[in-house]
Structure 1
């Protein structure tokens, strides 16, 4: 974007023809974003107050008119925003579509960009092309702070304001705002090229003027980031490569943009860079404070290989003076310097702070987890505790970054809590159950639906199940607790008690049910909502397909049963945790 006199045209906020000046257009953009965040903050506060009220009155239907109106509004909003149309789910392995709520927010955001671009901007002749180019350039610059706000870890103002702490949601909108940035920068480049009209003149301008060359370099770097390196296969299968490339490419992009843009537009760039640098500085300060002492690293992790060599169990004793504190359902990023230096991966904590240790169960895939498996098998000590399904274990120094994420509402404010998880997603499910059992609040029904492929997968969580059962023995008699384990590979289910673990399950059959086959999610949700006497909270951790099915079914039953118009069940709230990069 060259420093033409056009940038100084017009008086005040508008040009003589009534069109907004490009710089003021960027302020209009942030006025709309600020208004949206303000409205989200008000709803977040109201939802918090409503939750506190439900705790006080025992989850009975709200008595106050405003509370009933809010409950009705939120329930109707869930009916409209939770589902994903079935015709968009035909090829989940090839392409996955988000929920209507997310698609609606993305659509509104793109409408905002297009609306501001064309606002009082009739592009009917060549004299308007440079003005259009400048509009798109200012809109591009204005989006940079929002992109950073959606990516930061510790200074997540958007999480605080909206109450949404899900890293999956923030990353989703981070990518779509970045695509909006690519869209507006493409408009800027397109109308600049049209302004030059002649191809020969354009080539000559590129050869003689360094500003357009820097602009083209900025656009190429941005296109590389958005269109190539952030697509799901690369993020999913080569995260280390993606992360390193992303950091380098973003740094190169900011340098190119600073060189390309005039100084009077740099305020937005410096705000974005300031937010990012402050977040990184705060995060590393907390990492060093929590992990480093005079004797070295505070934490050491014991990594155990499960018998099938498809899962790892990680245990980190909280022996440091600076004890790590977390809430159930949160995750931390673990870095193992001797296995994968400079790389951190997110894992959900399955234990509670009072256990004085952090426990994780992770599925072995490619990259870091496969490297960890091979090294532990190579240097690990043999174990004889085959009942625990572990064959080898090794100890490594570990750096903990976090905790992050977690639900925005307390689980003990609901009448019914249902957790639906797949495989190692049980780390999230058992944390939710144990959290409710230590402080039941208004919860009357607590249910875990756990879907596993192999019967032996259950053995990995024996310690967790024992803790849950001990809590059940001392909890209130009016609390109903049920754990249903669905084993899809029925051939792995023993026909009789063949081990100590099988006997353990048989002794607690009133709480734990082993069910062959896969569950019908709709039937599970129907049964829970039919029995609920107040609001239901559903915690889910699994594939996108599972999460989509749960939200579709919840929206269907809320609408069909009229829960938002006066039935005993005051709606249903769904919180999902996924670590899909």
Structure 2
């Protein structure tokens, strides 16, 4: 009678005809996995060396390859990128839209799947009933040896991420798909044993009487539940519930596998347990160092003798909460995030938030949109205790709340190494892109007016970037005030650069697309110009009133009334896509093919100003007198613009690439639709321009920051 996997030692036995032993097949699998990780590590080392080489290059085009080796590497990289970035259009079925991952990660997952299936069935005849036991044994051995990879891809303190310079958030996608491959392998393992037992009507007997079969079936059931609940629509229902049940089911799965597996393969269970312990110990140790005041006496200014950090919560328009932590106990890079916990407001929950500030600000700052669960409770607390809205309880907000942070996490290639950078954000995705923009501008400033401790000027290049294109898509003008301080910082740094170096040649262009507007206001007075020596720098101003409502509905914070100035001339109006908002205002979601030849979106909704277009304002910007934003400048090929509608990424990126003297970077953070559009645009333009294929067109690096879960 056939027996299950643990009834006799099989690992060292060959199945004849030159077939490797089960242990050898497991080693083969890890030889393939190790080779892939090693290749990623080599690419990481080359990219880091390339970045350092560009910053040491004293030529006018440091981001352009000059040696034969770097030319070959750039050509190979461009070819791989065209394939790996490619993705198909989303599929819409009724109210549901399905977005597909790019081809590169899909090919990696398929390579892993093919490797597993080849090792499972190599030289085995599945049509031969006498081979079914052998298939059952082998698939069991191949299934269990995949466990360490799943846990290597899951931890925040990630070894693969360190070697390959990949964020744990990016690796988590591979973690889910490797787990699904494991589920398929385990299903085949169970299926062939059931198929063998079915010849003797023995399945029911085994499930009721054989402890090993019971444990194996229990492990499969738990794994099936884990796989199903990890699907995006299900885990998105409640992230907190998903995390909790994921931890519980993981423990149950490991226990069931341990009891089912024979002693000769339990090493594959011990390794994942060790990885989990390592991840937790490393996280708790770093968390203790970061959050305990005893390690940071000099920086602890909150008066708390135990905990390092305290935070203030401020409500902003659009149901956004600004969280500020002064004098944090660690440093970080632009684009990174931390896990944030405040037990006094949201007990026993930890949420990842992008850091919207730079280390030079000497504060951690987060902008958190109120959705469900903990983020909404943060906003309610901030609104209740605001010094205007909450009146009597303002002292609580001023004093701050004790908070805990874990991190920072997240990694990407430094944008300072690229000749041209395009940053695109949708809504709160600007929390990721604005710090990246500020980081490059700060490097420009430091190169020009920065000093070493001895007082001499710096001579080392800090950024190879010559131009930046920043695009931000928002629903309402009120969202502009969220990043008021950041926009101030950018313009102040650029102003200092121009004052110190009148022939400053760096380019920065900013476009803000507004898709819906609840309140439209007429243009204000023309913008003044700055006096010398900052000649040529024109500042547009946005009138921002600080009107606060004494009473608010539910969780809405004070609304900042914003009006933007228009140019003395505007293009002739042309009716394009528009829609009415309840109570007045309108939406314009038509894609603007070219900002230089744009038509206004006429708003005819009830309640809006008669004959007043939903403004498309060329050569203008938005902020108040204290927060000027760069406008017209002789050294800039494009200038900030406020438009109604949605951007057309392909045209925006193409114009930047046409001026690039070296490799460019495109970064996008926002809804899936925007990310897909940008990804397809980069692939199309790379192919259209024949990058590194004899045309002289330079490479395009793309980074897509996932938005949401």
TM-score, normalized by the shorter chain, greater than 0.5: yes
Alignment check: 8 A CA contact 1:415 1:444 kept: yes
Distance 2:372 2:510 in 1: 31
Distance 1:291 1:400 in 2: 7
Q: Is 2:80 aligned against 1:77?
A: yes
| C-alpha displacement of 1:266 | 0.8
Higher RCO (CA 8 Å, separation ≥ 6 residues): 1
Aligned-partner SS, 1:478: coil
The residue correspondences of 1:309-388 to structure 2 (distance < 5 A) are 310-318=319-327, 323-382=329-388
Q: Is 2:558 aligned against 1:555?
A: no
Alignment check: 8 A CA contact 2:383 2:390 kept: no
| C-alpha displacement of 1:300 | 1.0
Distance 2:63 2:407 in 1: 36
Aligned to 1:463: 485
Aligned to 1:19: 19
Distance 2:68 2:242 in 1: 51
Q: Is 2:441 aligned against 1:423?
A: no
Structure 1: which 5+ runs fail to align? 386-391
Alignment check: 8 A CA contact 1:451 1:487 kept: yes
Structure possessing the higher radius of gyration over alpha carbons: 2
Aligned-partner SS, 1:375: helix
Distance 2:193 2:201 in 1: 14
Aligned to 1:389: none
Aligned to 2:151: 148
Change (3 A) 1:118 1:300: same
Q: Is 2:505 aligned against 1:478?
A: yes
2:165 counterpart (163, 166, 169): 163
Q: Is 2:544 aligned against 1:499?
A: yes
Distance 2:629 2:390 in 1: 25
Aligned to 1:33: 33
Q: Is 2:118 aligned against 1:108?
A: no
The residue correspondences of 1:528-543 to structure 2 (distance < 5 A) are 528-543=656-671
Q: Which moved more, 1:367-376 or 1:68-77?
A: 367-376
What root-mean-square deviation, in Å, do the aligned CA atoms of Structure 1 and Structure 2 show?
Answer: 2.2
1:397 counterpart (393, 402, 420): 402
Question: Could you state the TM-score of these two structures normalised by the residue count of structure 1?
Answer: 0.92
Q: Which moved more, 1:510-519 or 1:96-105?
A: 510-519
Change (3 A) 1:517 1:16: closer
Output one character per residue of 1:360-416: Cα deviation in whole Å (capped at 9) or x when no partner.
11111111111222233344543699xxxxxx8883221000000031x21111111
Aligned to 1:174: 175
Distance 1:16 1:471 in 2: 72
Output one character per residue of 1:12-47: Cα deviation in whole Å (capped at 9) or x when no partner.
xx4433222222211111011011111222222222
Change (3 A) 1:137 1:502: same
Change (3 A) 1:194 1:528: same
| C-alpha displacement of 1:128 | 1.0
| C-alpha displacement of 1:548 | 1.6
Aligned to 2:68: 65
| C-alpha displacement of 1:258 | 0.4
Aligned to 1:123: 126
Distance 1:190 1:384 in 2: 63
Q: Which moved more, 1:509-518 or 1:458-467?
A: 509-518
Output one character per residue of 1:174-223: Cα deviation in whole Å (capped at 9) or x when no partner.
10000001000001100111121247422112222100000010000000
Aligned to 2:598: none
Aligned-partner SS, 2:124: coil
Aligned to 2:224: 223
- For these two proteins, the number of residue pairs brought into alignment is 564
Comparing both structures, which one devotes a greater share of its residues to helix?
Answer: 1
Distance 1:2 1:107 in 2: 27
| C-alpha displacement of 1:445 | 0.3
Alignment check: 8 A CA contact 1:416 1:535 kept: yes
Aligned to 1:438: 442
Alignment check: 8 A CA contact 1:351 1:358 kept: yes
Distance 2:674 2:95 in 1: 11
Aligned to 1:489: 516
Change (3 A) 1:41 1:246: same
Q: Which moved more, 1:434-443 or 1:559-568?
A: 559-568
Alignment check: 8 A CA contact 1:168 1:577 kept: no
Change (3 A) 1:394 1:523: farther
Alignment check: 8 A CA contact 1:299 1:398 kept: yes
Change (3 A) 1:91 1:269: farther
Alignment check: 8 A CA contact 1:304 1:393 kept: no
Aligned to 1:388: none
Distance 2:156 2:234 in 1: 22
Distance 2:364 2:218 in 1: 46
The residue correspondences of 1:237-252 to structure 2 (distance < 5 A) are 237-252=237-252
Distance 2:86 2:400 in 1: 44
Alignment check: 8 A CA contact 1:72 1:565 kept: yes
